[in-house]
Structure 1
Amino acid sequence: MQVYSLDELFAYWKNNNMQLPLIFDVKTADGVRAVHTAALRAFPNHPEQVVAMKVNATLFPHPAAFVGNSRYVHAIPVYTTNMLSSIDVPASRVEWQSYAHTLEINVKQDDGLLQGQKNAARAEGKRIGVFQAIPDGPVAGKFYNNNGSCCYTLAEKFAPAYQGNADTADHRGDIGFRMSQRFGPITTDDPKTTMRVLKTNGRRVSHYAP
């Protein structure tokens, strides 16, 4: 399988007159700097109109730290329930929503651990993204770990109780749940099915223009 460089990807985007925003899920500060450099090289006048980066809020709890690594390409901070025990999620979210247009806040169930954070960000006019959990392991309902080892279930990833509350279900794989929560951008490994269902329900927004 051929792996394309960022420069090749950006050249393809320009050569085909595409309008599709390019959003990268970046896990390290080095990766953020690399994407920023390549985006500036490809789009020197308006990189922020083409490229964005999803970054874990544990990597950059405050937007100033991200901007120090990427001045011209914007971020989508990502919040998950297991971050509640490692950073001050409410304080981080307040800071980030003054900078970012979109935040990914992974509410797993109605009134789940992050529901209040999602509601507060939406009240400030922010778009809220989510990750669609789709089993990819060799056994039904199981997922490969991010290091490639096998396997885990969503129930094994529930965060510890926080302020007396706990999640008991994870409905992010359910398109009905995602639509009822009115999430915006959806990160998914099954884009065709997701786009088809969203279009059928009048919720599909297309950015593609060949």
Structure 2
Amino acid sequence: MSRALPYPVQREIFARFQAAEPEPKGELEHVNAYTLVVAVALSAQATDAGVNKATRKLFAVADTPRKMLELGLEGVTEHIKSIGLYRNKAKNVIALSRILEEEHGGEVPSSRAALQALPGVGRKTANVVLNMWWAHPAQAVDTHIFRVGNRTRIAPGKDVDAVERAIEDHVPAEYQRHAHHWLILHGRYICTARKPKCPACPIADLCPYEDKTPAP
């Protein structure tokens, strides 16, 4: 496994990311902590755009656990049927809403363990909620971050857990809060899986990736 880039290079990379986008935001639409949990849980193996299209109408009628339970399984299923794996996801939304209502007073907990105890909520989903809602420096590693972390050697690792640890170990502390959003956006729009946009990349001169896309 490749070694991570040295600290001074990491600092320069994230300084450039910050200069370009001082306050990066996630692209999943939500109105409160509860709708964020639901949106992120629904986003597994689905696009943010597809989830947003489905949840706009869903959250208009059910933006709390109690309202979601009142909507019921059939109602939730009908709203999200355009999303992949929608039947199982609808069951999870109802189940997690019941737990939040019965065990947490309808509130979303700020603990990773409590979040991961919710049906359909894994470590990545919990980290997204902790980062976006509670401002914790949690790193939610998706396919974009996994690719960028290894390709650029910002955070190399053989699996998502290793990449998460590499971000925590090697990215300067002052950039931890927004690190995962900068890396997601970079992977989604610049460092794409096929034919990365290297000529437009703000960190191309610092990136050790050998098969850079040449300028036209």
TM range (shorter): under 0.3
What TM-score comes out, normalization by structure 2 length? 0.25
Larger-gyration structure (1/2): 2
- The structure with the largest strand share of the pair is 1
Give the number of the structure with larger relative contact order, counting CA–CA contacts within 8 Å between residues 6 or more apart.
2
